[in-house]
Amino acid sequence: MGVNPFIDAEAPPPPKSAYKLTLKNTGQVIEVDPENLPDEEGAKGSLLALLLAAGIEVDHVCGGVVACSTCHVYVPQGLDSAPEAIEEEEDQLDFAPALRDDSRLACQCVPDGSVDVEVEIPDWNRNEVSEEPH
Ligand code: FES
């Protein structure tokens, strides 16, 4: 897991409770176990780490350290269960196409487990999430 040396903010706390993370694009459901969080790129318990561990490829060019916007996802459900984006994330999101109110950087968005969450990978990444070859 990488660290951005230019950011002082502490990583968001990992989830405290088990919850279901649904990938809206495919309907795939990931059971998130706070006792068994994957050791992938992005903050511990982040959407990026959870998606990667489930075999779902999401672009993450900077390695999950808030230095790009390629891990941009939408969080149409359960967004309030994650701490708000820090300023550095907001700055990177400004570069992401097709921003919405529920846009987040997947490597920084860490739900607390209080509710189930739905995540959607934007269109330009759809090839990455399709389970069928094109
Ligand atoms: S992977 Fe670069 S900001 Fe998330």
Q: What is the pLDDT along the chain (134 residues), one digit of tens a residue?
A: 566 666 667 789 999 999 999 999 999 999 999 999 999 999 999 999 999 999 999 999 999 999 999 999 999 999 999 999 999 999 999 999 899 999 999 999 999 999 999 999 997 765 555 555 44
C-alpha atoms less than 13 angstroms from C-alpha of 101 in its C-beta half-sphere:
4
Best mutation site among 50, 60, 104 for ligand 1 pocket (most ligand atoms within 8 Å of CB): 60
pLDDT for position 123: 79
pLDDT for position 33: 98
Query: Which residues surround ligand 1 with Cβ inside 6 Å?
Result: 60-62, 64, 66-68, 70-71, 92, 105, 107
pLDDT for position 1: 56
CA 71 to ligand 1 centroid distance, Å: 5
For residues 41 and 48, the answer to whether their CB atoms sit within 8 Å is yes
pLDDT for position 134: 46
pLDDT for position 14: 95
For residues 11 and 106, the answer to whether their CB atoms sit within 8 Å is no
